[in-house]
């Protein structure tokens, strides 16, 4: 924890937002939480959403009168862009940039578009980040319960000389100051976030689950049993690790499981795997992943859609959908038929 700067409610206030209007562009996963939490903290908030969408209707139900992104930018002193990464540059160029005047500030929940220069703000505009380390519904529910989720704070441009105070007020307003707001940079947040998603939390984990499932089924074991052993029990292990780290998880499992962990785990994550991790990190750092993703989006996401559909029909998914319908202790959920994100 050496040199890690963490800020709490006591280290700041909402004063920097007093008399100002916050415009939240997008009412999706993060947007709905930021807009409602800030409003409930006494901040004047306007919301921008696309008319005719589910998010537009959700904003109306939450008591907002959604505007266009351009109109929200005109009204806002702090404009928080919570749209999915691939849409931010388009909306920024078309609606936000023409209405962005010196003295305003741009806020982001993820540094992708700023760090990789898909968005280049003009002079006279502060650029700040508050990135809650949790999904939007958790940011909202924790706030309502009187707690909060940890967050990250970063300043890319401090044209006003007051960008940090503004960003900290935003973080406190959404509830992150209750748990702790850690100082970082746009570069660090962006590159570590992408690496974590690709190598461990999403890409690495899903590939590991699929490979484990395939290995057991190919060896003649029942697909339903394989599902339980490689996917269903992940929740228990992840919960233990989140609560007390790797050591607490190992303390909580059997000695047999712990010995298998200690002796077999390094055979799965070996020197070859680590070399590939470093290669992926390099692709993130040099911008080649960002270019690949931006080009993929411009082309209509053909490869993305193909890969999504292939994995949606993977046997572990097919078996899982049927098994979850039988679980009386949990509500089974189903992803949409297309690749659309809930962001």
* Active-site entry in 110, 115, 232, 314: 110
Q: Is 137 an active-site residue?
A: no
Question: Whose CA is closest to 124, among 158, 81, 169?
Answer: 158
Residues 6+ apart with CB under 8 A from 10: none
Integer Cα distance of 218 and 102 in angstroms: 62
Cβ pair 24, 45 in contact under 8 A: yes
Structure tokens of 198? 């690709």
- Helix 29-40 to helix 163-173 angle (10° resolution) is 90
Q: What are phi and psi of 22, to 5 degrees?
A: -100, 125
Per-position DSSP letters for 147-187, written without gaps between them: ----EEEEEEE-SSS-HHHHHHHHHHHTTGGGT-EEE--HH
Q: Are strands 181-183 and 126-132 parallel, antiparallel or unpaired?
A: unpaired
Q: Phi-psi region for residue 119, left (φ > 0), alpha (ψ -120 to 50) or beta? A: beta
Q: From edge to edge, which strands make up the β-sheet containing 126-132?
A: 6-7, 181-183, 151-157, 126-132, 105-108, 78-81, 21-25, 44-48
DSSP notation for 32-72:
HHHHHHHHHTT-EEEEE--TTSHHHHHHHHTT---B-HHHH
What is d(CA 273, CA 280) in angstroms, rounded to the nearest whole number?
11
The catalytic site residues sit at 110
């Amino acid at each position: 924890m050496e040199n890690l700067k963490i800020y709490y409610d006591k280290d700041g206030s909402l004063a920097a937002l007093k008399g100002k209007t916050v415009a939240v562009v997008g009412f999706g996963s993060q947007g709905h939480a930021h807009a409602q939490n800030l409003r409930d903290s006494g901040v004047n908030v306007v919301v921008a959403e696309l008319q005719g969408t589910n998010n537009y209707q959700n904003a109306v139900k939450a008591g907002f009168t959604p505007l266009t992104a351009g109109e929200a930018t005109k009204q806002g002193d702090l404009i928080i862009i919570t749209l999915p990464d691939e849409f931010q540059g388009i909306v920024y160029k078309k609606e936000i940039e023409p209405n962005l005047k010196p003295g305003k500030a741009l806020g982001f929940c993820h540094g992708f578009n700023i760090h990789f220069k898909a968005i280049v703000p003009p002079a006279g505009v502060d650029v700040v980040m508050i990135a809650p380390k949790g999904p939007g519904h958790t940011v909202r529910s924790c706030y309502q319960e009187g707690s909060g989720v940890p967050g990250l704070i970063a300043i890319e441009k401090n044209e006003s000389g007051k960008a940090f105070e503004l960003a900290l007020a935003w973080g406190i307003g959404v509830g992150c100051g209750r748990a702790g707001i850690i100082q970082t940079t746009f570069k660090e947040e962006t590159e570590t976030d992408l690496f974590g998603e690709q190598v461990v939390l999403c890409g690495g984990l899903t590939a590991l689950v699929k490979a484990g499932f395939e290995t057991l089924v190919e060896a003649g074991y029942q697909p339903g049993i394989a599902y339980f052993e490689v996917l269903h029990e992940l929740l228990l292990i992840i919960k233990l690790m989140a609560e007390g780290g790797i050591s607490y998880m190992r303390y909580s499992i059997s000695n047999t499981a712990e010995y298998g962990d200690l002796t077999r785990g390094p055979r799965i994550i070996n020197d070859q795997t680590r070399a590939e991790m470093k290669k992926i990190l390099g692709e993130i750092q040099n911008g080649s992943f960002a270019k690949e993703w931006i080009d993929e989006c411009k082309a209509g996401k053909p490869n993305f859609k193909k890969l999504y559909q292939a994995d949606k029909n993977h046997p572990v998914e097919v078996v899982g959908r049927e098994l979850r319908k039988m679980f009386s202790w949990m509500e089974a959920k189903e992803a949409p038929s297309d690749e659309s994100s809930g962001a």
